[in-house]
Structure formats: C-alpha cells, structure tokens
Chain A
C-alpha cells in the first residue's frame, strides 16, 4: 500500500503542497470570492423582497385612488343634479310671476274696455233719447199741431224707451 509504504518519504511534500494549494483555495476562493457571490445572492433576495413590497404598495395606492375617484364622481353627479333642480325651480317661479303680471295687465285692459263700452252705450242711449224726443215733438206737432215742450217729450220718450 503506497499510502503507508511511502508515508515516511513523502509526508513532508504532501503536507507542503496541500497547505499551499488549500491555502490558495481558502484565501483566494473561500475568503475572496465566496463572500462576493453570497452578497450577490443576498442583494438579489432583498431586491426581490423590495420589488414585491413596492408592487403591493402600488396595488394598495391604485385601490385607494379608484375609491377616491368613485367618491368624487358621485359628488359631482349629486352637485349637477342639485343645479338642475334649482334651475328648474327658478324657471318655474319666473314663469309664474310673468303669467301673473300679464294676467293683471289683461284684467286692467278688460276693465278699461268695459268702462269705455259702458260710457259709449250710455252716451248712445242719451243721444237716442234726445233724437227720439225731438222726433216725438215733431210727430206730435205734425199729428195734432200741439206744441209739446221738450221736457215733456223727453219724459215721455224715457217712459216709452225704458218701459
């Protein structure tokens, strides 16, 4: 077995070269490179965790914004409806007022016209009476030759006209 047969002759060379090569592996690879590889892995893991957290926060923010938007929309709709209702009420009131004013004006005109008609008819009646009285005087004078006073004639006409 060379491991035992050559032990005395080769142990120093074996140990020397082992310490040299393993020392290189430990100091250059183990201490120099492995921590860097591990820090890369750690950086990646924290980056993934951070990205996930950011995504989650963004989702929450989006939900919040949507909620706000919905609330604002509902508010705007309510405001618009209020304005429409107010405008409707106002226009109705205006119309009512105008109608009332016109009504009053028309009523006044009607009253004036009625009064004018009444005056005209009274005047006409008086004229008819006067004409009738004259006619009656003439008729009496022609028929009987008697002279009737204007006053009498008038009285008679009045009685005949008004029954």
Chain B
C-alpha cells in the first residue's frame, strides 16, 4: 500500500474507534459501541434536522433558508415525478431522507476540521453502512413490487417482446442483474467515497513527508501535491453530491420498476 512513508497511513481515517468508553456496550450479545462512526451519523442527522427545521417557517414569500429547503424537496419531488410518474410522489419522504442523509454525510466527512485537531469521519465510506442503505432501498422495491403485483412481479425479468425460446435464457440474466442491484448501489457509494478520501490523504502524506525530507523536496513535491489536493477537494465535493444524487436516482428508478414493472 501507499502507506510505506513513516507513520502516515491513509487508511487510518476509516478506522472505527469506540468513544466515551462504550467499547463493550451490547444489546442481546451484539456490540453497539458508540463509535466515531456513530457520532458522525448523529451529527449528520442533527445537522439535517436543523437544516430542514430552519425551512419550516411556511411563509408565503420564502426567505433564503426556506428557499434552500424547498429547493431540495422540489428537486426530489421532480426526480420522482420524472422517473416514477405520479405514483412516485408517496416515496418523496424516503428518497428525500436517503438523499439528504448521504449528501450531508459525504459533505460533513469532507469538512477541513482536521486543522482544529478533530477528525471528520465519512461513514458512507464503510460498506456496512452503504450496504444497509442499499438493502433498505432494495427491500422497498421488493415489498412494493410483490405487494402491488404479486407473483406477476416476476414478469419484470421477461422484457416485452422476448421470443418464447429466449425466455429461459433471458430470465436468469435479468434476475441476476436485478439481484446485483443492491450490491452495485452500495458498492458504488462506498468505493467513490473511499477512493477520494484515500487519494486526499496520500497527497497530504506526500506534502508532509517531502517537507520533512528537506525544503527542496518540499518545494518540488509538496507544492504540486498541495495544488492537486485543492483541485481534488473540489472534485470530491462534486463527487459527494453526485453519489448522493446517483443513489437517489437509482432508488427512484428501481421504485419505478416496482410500481410499473416495465
């Protein structure tokens, strides 16, 4: 790995550490320690709650904050309306929650509070978390699909106009592509977040180690690395938004499949 340079380990930022001595907090034999990951989940939820609560003034002529909140609800509403039709309207609370939760988590994880000695933690860079979120979306699709269409839901795996002899071949392919959805949904977010954060930490390691090796190395390696970090930080903010959007978009597309089959 890229961590051969002294003590700087770019993967250390993903390490989960129990906080406040809750290491052995357990329910029914399962450990539920309040970790740094849990702390940032709570921070994300609270920040999101404050953000939306600030837009609850319900004024006829909205202020800036209300405008911002209404932009996001309108954005999710439009996303569902375009991808799942008018039947998608009832999923606005869920898709809004998942979109804003992921967006806030991604953006808060990028906060440069390291300069104050604090360590932001991006819990969306953990497969456990993104996997659970993906399974939630996928379970909703399954539940709605079977509740609405019963066994007819399986016709989702036979596209319209498939010739009869092709059905035994097409069906397993479609089934596998359907079952892969939660994995691709969860992995995409996890990989995008992990890769970006590793890249930033590796470059930061270059800056520190080259400067430690001498002023000449620092100028030669550190300054270009730092410039690249600024650009990549901007890119990471874009990725944070895009990944949240992709998660919400794919969720709404899958909901459309469940609502309307094909």
Contacts and interface: CB of A to CB of B under 8 A. Distances in A.
A22 interface: yes
B92 A38 contact: yes
Given A10-B35, A12-B32, A29 B48 contact: yes
A85 interface: no
Given A2-B15, A3-B125, A12-B30, A41 B73 contact: yes
Interface in B126-162: 126-129, 132-133, 136
Contacts of B123: 14, 18
Given A14-B16, A14-B38, A41-B70, 15 more contacts: A1-B11, A11-B128, A14-B123, A14-B132, A17-B32, A18-B41, A22-B41, A29-B52, A29-B96, A29-B97, A30-B94, A30-B97, A31-B93, A44-B60, A47-B60
What class of interface size applies to chain B in its complex with A?
A: 35 or more
B14 A25 contact: no
10 contacts: A2-B14, A3-B127, A6-B16, A10-B128, A13-B30, A13-B34, A21-B41, A21-B45, A36-B58, A40-B70
B60 A13 contact: no
A16 interface: yes
What class of interface size applies to chain A in its complex with B?
A: 35 or more
B261 interface: no
Nearest to B55: A37
A11 B32 CA distance: 9
A19 interface: yes
A38 B77 contact: yes
Contacts of B132: 14-15, 18-19
Contacts of B92: 34-35, 38
B189 interface: no
A33 B56 contact: yes
A17 B34 contact: yes
Interface centre among B18, B38, B190 (most CB of A within 10 A): B38
Interface string B47-78: 01100110110111010001001100110010
Main secondary structure of the interface of B (DSSP, over half): helix
Nearest to A35: B93
B32 A29 contact: no
B14 A3 contact: yes
B190 A3 contact: yes
Interface string B8-19: 000110111010
A25 B101 contact: yes
Given A3-B127, A13-B38, A14-B128, A22 B194 contact: no
A33 B15 CA distance: 34
B128 A37 contact: no
Nearest to A37: B73
B27 interface: yes
A14 B58 contact: no
B184 interface: no
B60 to A, nearest CB: 6
B27 A16 contact: yes
B31 A33 contact: no
Nearest to A9: B31
A15 B33 CA distance: 11
Contacts of A4: 127
A52 interface: no
Nearest to B39: A17
B42 interface: yes
A147 B97 CA distance: 167
B51 to A, nearest CB: 9
B55 A22 contact: no
